[in-house]
Amino acid sequence: MKKKYSLVLALFIMGLYVNAQSYQKTGLGLKTVINSTVIEIQFYSPQIVRVIKYPEKNTFEKKSLSVIKEAEKTKLVISENGRAVRIKSKVMQVNLNLHSGKILFESLSGAVLLNEKERGAVFTNFNDTGNKTFTVNQSFVLDPKESIYGLGILQNGKMSQRNQKLHMVQNNTWDFVTFFQSDKGYGLFWDNYSPTDFNDNAEETSFKSEVGDGIDYYFMLGNNADGVIAQMRDLTGHVPMFPKWTFGFWQSKERYKSQNEIVEVVKKYRGLGVPLDGIIQDWQYWGDNYHWNAMSFLNPEFSKPEEMVNDIHKLNAHLLISVWSSFGPDTPQFKEMKEKNMLFDFQTWPQSGKEAWPPDMNFPSGVKVYDAYNPEARDIYWNYLNKGLFSLGIDGWWMDSTEPDHLDFRPEDLDAKTFLGSFRKVRNAYPLMAVGGVYDHQRQFSSAKRVFILTRSAFAGQQRYGANTWSGDVNSSWETLRNQIPAGLNFSLCGIPYWNSDIGGFFAGSYNTNSNDGSGAKNQYYQELYIRWLQFGAFTPMMRSHGTDVPREIYQFGKKGEPIYDAIEKTINLRYMLLPYIYSNAWKVTKEHSSFMRALVMDFKDEKVKDMNNEYLFGQSILVAPVVNAQYTPETIVKTNEDTGWNKKERDESAKNAVVDFNEKKIKKVYLPDGSLWYDFWTNKKHSGGQEIDQETKIDQIPLYVKAGSIIPLGPKVQYVEEKKWDNLEIRIYEGADGEFTLYEDEGDNYNYENGKYATITFKWNDLKRILTINKQQGSFSEMIKQRRFKIIKISSDHLESDASAKELEKTISYNGNQISIKL
């Protein structure tokens, strides 16, 4: 009996020894081998954990394209419990099952955050152009009622991305980011750049990538959406300040055909007194498709480009210009890169040397995409960009087709060799490399001018490159407009805050009543859609009107005194009035990892907003409820494709012009989130939260509501952003809760703010005492305002919905930079 007892004890001790030796501690966590799979758990910070898995007998070495954070020294406590080992930081804990290899992420209190699926890691042999590697798959198990957000710019109209199946390969209108965050307060970044399938169903949530030497993902705990975004930016890069002028109104079209035309547009805006800060020159200023993206003005209609740039600057406007990720065969860039094997051999836009549609393949264009993964190729790209365009004083870059365009797809196209391996291996990170190349080079060349890039595609980490991503060549329809709201919100929830869509939609030919004559601007079907899109666009980070078929300049829609013209002018003026609020929020994005467009789930614990896809906060004070259904005209169903939409002869004959009365008042249902009182921005009428209301709407007003406790600065009426200083601002105080707002100012268009050259004024509202405290101005910069006047307007919360409007109290004060308190 004693012998048997001794044997059992020996086996037990041996089991403990095996468990104790089944993993090794590392400087970042631990490493082990379970079921022939190497597993590494690495803490990059107390909040961020990296998980690496790969088959035993293989190696895994990788320099991430997205992640730039170096792992920081983190205090960890490692302990065992039976067949599991636990790694604990000061904010979370990770449990590894030493038998199955399953990983569980928990809060310190033991609440389950994310659970890997049992045997959820799968490696399938894959031959990637002669390189023996794997298709990699990792499955997780989410709570049934859990909501997840992110995954990029998605045109599916969904807010929560549960029960979705996505094939993630960058294209014109879908920009994929292999990241999601949960309403449980965590985020997951799948660090793989090859074509990837995301699948969420009742059994599992998984990422499956076509190519990978191993599984590589990051789990981050933020406790709330802002916290998760902060962790994602800590991991992949912070957001720089954009030039102040970029927050004004931008006019664009496909395309201005001469330098005289583009300058005249700016002159017309100035003559009409309608604000404008930017104008954009689209393609073909280089002349023809064989000189595609020459980065030089070869078109005789642009014979004096430096004069054009100077004329626009003299009108106090800025110029962006179209550049692409590809080059025509007659350009010096093409020839230099071809000699160095820096061009990909697959079909891209444009396919024909002739401009007519469809492309005449008897005259192939020969245009090729360049290898943006190659640092020398990025050098070449910048050298020509600098010499041909930046040297002329052009203010920023419209980097089109950064997905890049990949037409007539063949699987073997992904075999193309890049500097970093096969195109398949790094496919989805192309926009990150292309955009990053321009940003990095311009920063190295000069810090006197902030980099500004408008681009059509993005990947994780792109927020660090001064880039605003637009949602591609979407069609002009109400359905598409509706889809843009959750598209922008989910993109923002990936940690990339700068986003916009083509105001009015890109493909608008179905609204032309006489083929392609541009008469759509007088078509009331289109007018209604355009003004509602414009109103939404005023509450996105970049307000840019752009498209083809129908011209978008304000004077195309009529004249002053007419409903649509006046509605356009009113909306643009609203944008400029809000500039102090918008620019201060830009600083909050940079300094505090905030977001411009905020899904309501970010700020309200209200079950009704978890999947709300038609309202959002702009900043943390203004609730935006765009009108996204036709009220005056029937909705026109428009279906186009970014590849085939260029056939401008196809149009919906049902989109006939109609006679409607745009002066009529309509009704829209708006949900006001629980947890706050709300004020109608236009009337100051107050409503309690947690209810749906019938909001009266007019063609010239977007429904807007301000959260109680908000402090909103409003700027002067101007024709361009820098026309007037902010020395006489209106400060609106919305009663009902304590509030705080920090007004931010700097030099506007350089990087001196990185060295502390900026100033802030913090306003604090004590709701109980009815006291507004304006703190001492902090910081300084050249030409900082030292004497100001503030017109303080307090919006009263004494009455609720029965009032026609809330009461106002107005007081004007002088402010010299020292703290002052005002009893209101």
Q: What is the pLDDT of residues 758-775, one digit of tens each?
A: 999 999 999 999 999 999
For range 296-311, the mean pLDDT = 98
Angle ∠(456,275,243) on CA atoms, nearest 5: 50
E-state strands within 229-333: 249-251, 278-281, 318-323, 326-327
Is 473 assigned a catalytic role?
yes
Report yes or no: 418 and 433 within 8 Å, Cβ to Cβ. no
Q: Which domain holds residue 819?
A: 579-627+659-824
Q: Give the contacts of 450 (CB within 8 A, at least 6 positions apart).
A: 240, 241, 242, 243, 466, 749, 750, 751
Q: Is residue 423 included in any domain, yes or no?
A: no
Q: How far apart are CA 824 and CA 810, in angstroms?
A: 9
| Position with higher pLDDT, 646 vs 704 | 704
* Residues whose CB falls within 8 Å of the CB of residue 8, separated by 6 or more in sequence, listed in order: none
CA 263 from chain centre, in angstroms, equals 30
CA atoms within 13 A on the CB side of 244: 24
Residue 815 lies in a domain: yes
Query: Which residue's structure tokens are 């042999």?
Result: 125
| Spatial distance between the Cα atoms of 551 and 516, rounded to a whole number of angstroms | 11
State yes or no: pLDDT of 315 exceeds 70.
yes
Residue 712 lies in a domain: yes
How does pLDDT run across 119-141, given as a tens digit for each residue?
999 999 999 999 999 999 999 99
Q: What is the pLDDT of residues 603-655, one digit of tens each?
A: 999 999 999 999 999 999 999 999 999 999 998 766 666 555 544 444 444 44
Instruction: Tell me, yes or no, whether 745 lies in a domain.
Output: yes
Quick check: 599 pLDDT over 60?
yes
Neighbouring-strand partners of residue 112: 106
In a domain, residue 646? The reply is no
| Domain annotation covers residue 781 | yes
* First CA to last CA distance, the chain: 89
Length of the chain: 824
- Check 330, 400, 603, 730 and give the catalytic one: 400
Count how many domains the chain has: 1
Q: How confident is the model at residue 514 (pLDDT cuts 50, 70, 90)?
A: confident
pLDDT at 103 over 70: yes
CA of residue 464 relative to chain centroid, distance:
12
Q: Is 403 a catalytic residue?
A: yes
Average pLDDT over residues 325-354: 97
- Asked if pLDDT for residue 3 goes beyond 70, the answer is no
With pLDDT > 90 as the criterion, what percentage of the chain qualifies? 91
Whole-angstrom distance, CA of residue 644 vs CA of residue 283: 18
Residue 15: HSE in the Cβ half-sphere, 13 Å Cα cutoff: 12
| Cα Rg of the chain, angstroms | 28
Q: Is residue 400 among the annotated active site residues?
A: yes
| Torsion on CA atoms 438, 232, 149, 135, rounded to nearest 10 | 80
- What per-residue confidence (pLDDT) applies to 644? 52
Residue 501 inside a domain? The answer is no
For residue 753, the domain's CATH number is: 2.60.40.1180
- Residue found under tokens 């005056």: 632
- Give tens-digit pLDDT for 731-741: 999 999 999 99
Q: Report yes or no on 555 lying in a domain.
A: no
Instruction: Characterize 166-181 residue by residue with b for buried, 16 or more Cβ atoms within 10 angstroms of its Cβ, and e for exposed.
Output: bebbbbbbbbbbbbbb
Return the pLDDT at 17: 40
Q: Active-site residue among 473, 549, 566, 603?
A: 473
| Catalytic member of 403, 566, 603, 615 | 403
pTM for the model stands at: 0.95
Tokens of 164: 């979705």
Per-residue confidence band for 556, with pLDDT thresholds at 50, 70 and 90: very high
Instruction: Kindly state the helix (H) or strand (E) to which residue 490 belongs, with its residue range.
Output: helix 478-492
